[in-house]
Structure 1
Amino acid sequence: METDRYLIDFDTKDIEKQCYDVVIIGSGIAGVYTALEIPKDYNVLILTKETIEISNSVLAQGGIAVSLDKDDSPGLHFKDTIKAGAGLCNEESVWVLVNEAAQNIETLCEYGVEFDKEGINRLSLTREGAHSKRRIIHAGDTTGKEVCDKLVSVVRTKENVKIKERTFAVDLITEGDACKGVLAYDEDTSSYILYLSKMVICATGGFSKLYSYTTNPEVATGDGAALAYRAGAELMDLEFIQFHPTVLFHPENKSFLISEAVRGEGAYLRNVNGEKFMPQYHELAELAPRDIVSRAIFNEMQKTKSSNVYLDITFKDKEYLQKRFPKIYETCLSYGIDMSKDYIPVAPAAHYCMGGIKTDIYGRTNIKGLYACGEAACNGIHGANRLASNSLLEGLVFGRKIGFEVQSVIKKGKEPLEFNDFSVKSKRVSKAINKEEVKSEIQNIMTKYVGIIRDRGGLLYAKDKINEYYNAVKDMENHGIEDFELQNIILLSKLVVESALEREESRGAHYRMDFPETNDVKWKKNIIKSKK
């Protein structure tokens, strides 16, 4: 068998097997909420490669976008999402997102999530970049953690849901064009387990760890997209990587997010000379779409030969900032920055992947039995640039739709899962490779040449270097998580570079210096990558 289908050699007769109705890979908001929305008479397994508390969702600060105000509507939310997406949004997906937002927020409140309120029952609303109305609900500046903590506490009480921590999903097991389960690696026992299932849901998050500087945790290595690709799934829009404009830039911390909500509450961006600059770049100034703000900051840093700019919210008093942004205030203060008196040093960093596993609005992929939701998926709601605070909402809305889908896909008590044992024997060989060094080099290449601003020369250089690494490891024996993650990072870097080279225009988060204009005639379409 070819070495690029499975990462290890195995014989299923020799591997422990466990059967579940549904296997969910990933324990962020998308994965856990999906598990809660699956009827209780189905047996569900959640696999997570770290503990269940570690995910990208936990780090989300700003909030969740939902049109609740009397002056707002799903139609206006739709319009803002479409505009931010720069012509590539799937309108059907966006309509589902905005129209089903409120009912999912109601469900979160029923699960015990406590959002900030004005008065007794009215949820507090703030505004973020590219939103025309105040529609972001929040829990201080740790919304993701509040939502995750409550959902995890609820899912732990469900008798039909089993959580398997420190378990790495290595590959999908397929027969023909159907997914039959997940081959996983137990980190504690260093052994493999085959989880057989009629339905596998990939909710593994994104792949911003392809870059040196990112707001994402160490787990965001794109394992779901990579294993889906090896199994024959289609990946879409990989060239669109969102760089969050304002990430703390401090010698001891270059990954802590300074929420967009800080700018939503009026903060200004200033260059190292203390000058406001955003009005020169966009009519919405600090509240322009993220891709525009990130490029503006990048340009100012180049013009002033500096490594950062500053965020200024010193016109707000200390008490207000401590109440509205407790985590940000506390973190900045720990580095000697009092945001009520001092400017906050910030710079852009990789934050979110618009692209991922191609799905429809029900999470279905081109592989029977394989579904995806959250950042791991790509159903077109974000287009070329995600609108702020639509990410947590995406995991909720489409996770719920997959939960409903389970009942029509799996008929209880009928049609037992059919699985035929098989073996994989490739020509992989042992190689002495400094994996950490290779990973760091790829992250540096991606940051320098496939970042906020790109051009053909840099992309070709990145392609050649990454292909060298790809060819070096494609037939390498893989023995643990370090090996698996390296394979996934190299594969996805290769596909991202290829997609960025192919799109010869600038659109949303993809900006080409050699093709600075948007070309709807030729490029108002999606780039899809698959092995077929």
Structure 2
Amino acid sequence: MPALVGKDVDDVVILGGGLAGLFCALKLAPRPVTVISNAPIGYGASSAWAQGGLAAAVSENDTAAQHAADTMAAGCGICERKIVEQMTGEAGDRVRDLLSYGVPFDKDLEGRLRLSREAAHSENRVVRVRGDMAGSAIMDALIQSVRNTPSIRVIEGYMGESLMVEGRYVTGVLARRRGGLERMAFPAKAVVLASGGIGHLYAVTTNPGEANGHGLAMAARAGAVIADAEFVQFHPTALNVGKDPAPLATEALRGEGAILVNGAGERFMDDLHPDRELAPRDVVARAIHREITSGRGAYLDCRAAIGARFEEDFPTVYAACKEAEIDPVTQSIPVAPAEHYHMGGVLTDANGRTSLDGLWAAGEVAGTGAHGANRLASNSLLEAVVFAARIAEDIQGLMPTPRATHWAELDQADGLPSQRNTAEQEAITVLRETLSRNVGVERNADGLKQALADIARAEEVCVRDSIKNMMITGRIIAASALKRTESRGGHARSDFPDMDPAWAHRTFTTLAEVDEIAASALGEAESA
């Protein structure tokens, strides 16, 4: 079957139909914008799966400065302070934007936002919807607004494969219909990468299948600088019930007083951190990981803290438990760490500009420096909307006069093979299992080198750009983890268990450097 290629040049093309992409498109209105999504908008977005909510200092007892301090503390010394201060300072305005789009945040009887507390926050500052439904509610409201905005064209069912590049300038996106032959070129004056995270590159993850690292690899292949790729956050409490993706037991449960116990009923966080169950996520994840690997198991006990309120206050988690034949009102919930969020990404500045002209990035694919080595709970949705708005403002300033809405006509051109072959499917399995085993909650040099060698061999059989992109992103994460010879935040090395002051900085890499590191690892493996 033929591919499709656009004749005309759009003002802005946004790759990704999640929170960052849709918020940016709305902020750009009435400028013509094309949003490309590999699933129906919102459906495959990690944003829609977010349970906790959005962090913002909007109460009279809280300040943006306190929120910034908590963010910096969780980031283990490598957050970009100015970025954090801008993000927390603009949080209130972004919450008001979301309210204007119809997001039904929980309110008290006097009409004030109801706020909850999550791990490592010093105040109640997480705005929620029905306890654990913030992500889906936010996305539902934005989708409705996007559908009602005539300047936004949505192309669904197309997966970004590569960026169109002329020198250092990004000139568009090349995408392919999922499961088919058709390829479509979207020339653009500005490209916004909002393609989401890397979760489904891991065998155990809380993320949808669309979170497969394509955008990160596309940018790296085009020559973009990648920042902090070694920092992967594992949510401590995914339901350990054998599902892929793993259902999430929101951190808000621990915020309400739920406790962690092992199979013997012993509370194991007491001696590990002053904040116990509400310690930073990397601390809790490693503690649970060790209980499981020791054979004791790990469980979230919500019986005393939540009990009969569970179904009403946390309907999403309750439904997942019941599907797994667990009654969280009367039983403890088996939990395990699962890949949840990528702190690293395509390096951007405060306005979302990447190292390539014409390319911006927002959301989980971006490396803004806001999260440092460990993201503070519920800062992900906040970062997405803050920098999506900043990108829209930046682009509007570069192209001050919106054109009349006009969409490109399409011609036909040649395509590529349509179906994944068996070898590619096996390569994906190797990638996911390798990252979970060797680039997971705890890493070491031998395991990271083995991961690079295994991914390199798996990549040899890959034909499709989409599958190669997954392999490339896996290599970027493993190579970055091998470079950082210390433990900090979400990056834990068993062979370098301590934080090293010499590593109290961000890291930056390119695909060329990753290729060199991977080639060395493969050479060592073949000569061993």
Normalised to the residue count of structure 1, the TM-score between the two structures is 0.90
Shift of 1:466: 1.6
Instruction: Tell me by how many angstroms 1:526 deviates.
Output: 1.9
Secondary structure at 1:164 match in 2: strand
Alignment partner of 1:139 is 2:120: no
Give SS of 1:117's match.
coil
Q: State yes or no: 1:65 paired with 2:46.
A: no
Distance 1:363 1:531 in 2: 23
Identity %: 38
Secondary structure in 2 aligned to 1:515? coil
Give, in angstroms, the shift of residue 291 of structure 1: 0.3
Q: 1:297 aligns with which of 288, 296, 313?
A: 288
Give the superposition deviation at 1:230.
Answer: 0.8
Q: Write the distance in 2 (CA, Å) between the matches of 1:71 and 1:16.
A: 53
Q: Which residue of 1 aligns with 2:357?
A: 368
What's 1:280 paired with? 271
Mapped to 1, the partners of 2:456 and 2:181 lie a distance apart of: 30
Residue by residue, what CA displacement relative to the aligned partner does 1:169-197 show, whole Å, maximum 9, x if unpaired?
11111111111111111348632221111
Match of 1:203 in 2: 194
For 1:380, the equivalent position in structure 2 comes to 369
1:162 partner SS: strand
**1:319 Cα deviation (Å)?**
4.4
Give the alignment of 1:72-91 within 5 angstroms: 72-91=62-81
Amino acid in structure 2 at the alignment position of 1:517: D
Q: What SS does structure 1 have at the residue aligned with 2:110?
A: coil
Instruction: Tell me the SS of whatever aligns to 2:355.
Output: coil
* Cα displacement (A) at 1:432: 6.8
**Deviation digits for residues 85-129 of structure 1 (CA, Å, limit 9, x no counterpart):** 001100111001100000110111111100111113111111101
Contact 2:29 2:152 in 1 (8 A): no
Q: C-alpha separation between the residues in 2 aligned to 1:230 and 1:510?
A: 24
Cα deviations by residue, 1:424-443 (Å, 9 ceiling, x for unpaired): 99xx9x99761111111111
In the alignment, does 2:489 pair up with 1:508?
A: yes
Residues 273 and 397 from structure 1, CA distance in 2 versus in 1: closer, same or farther, beyond 3 angstroms? same
2:14 is equivalent to residue 24 of structure 1: yes
Match of 2:33 among 44, 49, 54: 44
Name the counterpart of 1:156: 147
Following TM superposition, by how much is the alpha carbon of 1:254 offset from its aligned partner in structure 2, in angstroms?
6.0
SS in 1 for 2:346: strand
Report if aligned partners of 1:316, 1:340 keep a CA contact under 8 Å in 2. Answer: no
Q: SS in structure 2 opposite 1:458? A: helix
> d(CA) in 1 for partners of 2:356 and 2:42?
30
Q: 3-state SS of the aligned residue for 2:170?
A: strand
Q: Which residue of 2 aligns with 1:171?
A: 162
Which of 256, 259, 269 in structure 2 is aligned with 1:265?
256
User: Which residue number in structure 1 is paired with residue 509 of structure 2?
Assistant: 528
Cα distance, 1:326 vs structure 2: 1.4
**Which residue pairs with 2:467 in the alignment?**
486
Is contact 2:77-2:504 (8 Å) kept?
A: no
Match among 449, 461, 481 for residue 438 of structure 2: 449
Give the paired residue count.
Answer: 498
Provide the rounded CA distance (Å) in 2 between the counterparts of 1:203 and 1:98. Answer: 20
Q: What whole-Å deviation, never above 9, does each CA across 1:257-276 have from its counterpart, x for those lacking one?
A: 00000000000000111100
For the 8 Å contact 1:39–1:403, the answer to whether it is kept is no
CA distance in 1, matches of 2:17, 2:245: 25
Q: Distance in 2 between matches of 1:512 and 1:252?
A: 28
Per-residue CA deviation, residues 348-390 of structure 1 (Å, 9 max, x unaligned), is 0000000111000100011111000000101100000000000
Give the superposed CA RMSD. 2.2
Post-superposition shift, 1:332? 1.1
Structure 1 stretches lacking a partner, 5+ long? 1-9, 415-423
* Consecutive unaligned residues in structure 2, runs of 5 or more: 404-412, 514-528
Confirm whether residue 110 of structure 1 aligns to residue 103 of structure 2: no
Counterpart for residue 207 of structure 2: 216
Secondary structure of 1:281 counterpart = coil
How far has the Cα of 1:236 moved from its partner? 0.8
